[in-house]
């Protein structure tokens, strides 16, 4: 499973990229607004830090506008993935961009039928939003399972399932169990994946015993 980090905070991305465990980055207009920085500058900096796909989202609502914005964003770096919304205009833009060889991440997916359309439109990634479905009392994880089954039913659908709107380590665990190809995870949740109280307790005990031996490893 690939891990993307879901943030536009360059300092956070730099730190996480240093682990060697980061496969890509997703941003969205809300995350760019939160950064308080210039969109194109931030995307350029992120692309220089991470070799994998960096999702940059268009702001236009119509296909032609999306394509014009996509051209600007693609010129920033070769690892930019154009993020388009799951609307008919977004699907048309996805079709055109994927035919040109661009990476496309179709975002704001809330149903299996939407995911099927995105795959037919040649999306590189489909982003089902787990947390936002859970927020309205639906089962975000079930959507990941449905999309996995549908994509596996048709060998010609090559779109990767990018589990998005992840709020907890349990969302990551269950996405992996469901066979999502990628999880895009907020930095805090990504860091939490390595933590377990028994790991800390066990390490303390081992190191206390090691100290008693009086030995060093040289």
Residues interacting with ligand E4P, by CB under 6 A? 6, 26, 28, 107, 127, 129, 131-132, 164-165, 184
- The residue among 63 and 175 lying less far from ligand E4P, judged by its C-beta, is 175
Which among 147, 85, 58, 78 has a CA at the least distance from the CA of 111? 147
From the CB of residue 216, how many other CB atoms can be counted at a distance below 10 Å?
6
Reduce the DSSP state of residue 54 to 3 states and report it. strand
- The residue among 33 and 177 lying less far from ligand E4P, judged by its C-beta, is 33
Which among 186, 125, 121, 108 has a CA at the least distance from the CA of 161? 125
- We find the least distance from the C-beta atom of residue 145 to ligand E4P, in angstroms, to be 18
- The residue among 124 and 165 lying less far from ligand E4P, judged by its C-beta, is 165
- We find the least distance from the C-beta atom of residue 1 to ligand E4P, in angstroms, to be 16
Residue 193, C-beta contacts closer than 8 angstroms, at least 6 positions apart: 169, 172, 185
SS3 content of the chain, % helix, strand, coil (to 5): 50, 20, 30
- We find the least distance from the C-beta atom of residue 205 to ligand E4P, in angstroms, to be 37
- We find the least distance from the C-beta atom of residue 24 to ligand E4P, in angstroms, to be 10
* Residue of minimal Cβ distance to ligand E4P: 165
Pick the catalytic residue from 2, 34, 40, 83: 83
- We find the least distance from the C-beta atom of residue 7 to ligand E4P, in angstroms, to be 9
Q: Is-contact 107 84, C-beta < 8 A?
A: yes
83 is annotated as an active-site residue: yes
- The residue among 26 and 98 lying less far from ligand E4P, judged by its C-beta, is 26
- The residue among 156 and 186 lying less far from ligand E4P, judged by its C-beta, is 186
From the CB of residue 191, how many other CB atoms can be counted at a distance below 10 Å?
15
Q: Is-contact 57 27, C-beta < 8 A?
A: yes
Catalytic annotation, residues: 83
């Amino acid at each position: 499973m690939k891990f993307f980090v879901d943030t536009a905070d360059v300092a956070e991305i730099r730190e996480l990229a240093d682990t060697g465990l980061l496969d890509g980055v997703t941003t969205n207009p809300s995350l760019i607004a939160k950064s308080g920085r210039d969109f194109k500058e931030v995307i350029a900096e992120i692309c220089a830090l991470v070799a994998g796909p960096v999702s940059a989202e268009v702001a236009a609502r119509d296909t032609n506008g999306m394509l014009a914005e996509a051209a600007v964003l693609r010129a920033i770096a070769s690892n930019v993935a154009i993020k388009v919304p799951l609307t008919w205009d977004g699907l048309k833009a996805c079709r055109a961009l994927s035919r040109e060889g661009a990476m496309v991440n179709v975002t704001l997916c809330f149903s299996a039928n939407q995911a099927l359309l995105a795959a037919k439109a040649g999306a590189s990634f489909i982003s089902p939003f787990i947390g936002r479905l859970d927020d309205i009392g639906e089962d975000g994880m079930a959507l990941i399972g449905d999309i996995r089954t549908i994509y596996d039913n048709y060998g010609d659908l090559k779109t990767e399932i990018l589990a998005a709107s992840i709020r907890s380590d349990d969302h990551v665990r269950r996405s992996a169990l469901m066979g999502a190809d990628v999880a895009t995870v907020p930095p805090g949740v990504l860091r939490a994946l390595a933590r377990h109280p028994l790991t800390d307790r066990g390490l303390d005990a081992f190191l206390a015993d090691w100290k008693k031996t009086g030995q060093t490893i040289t």
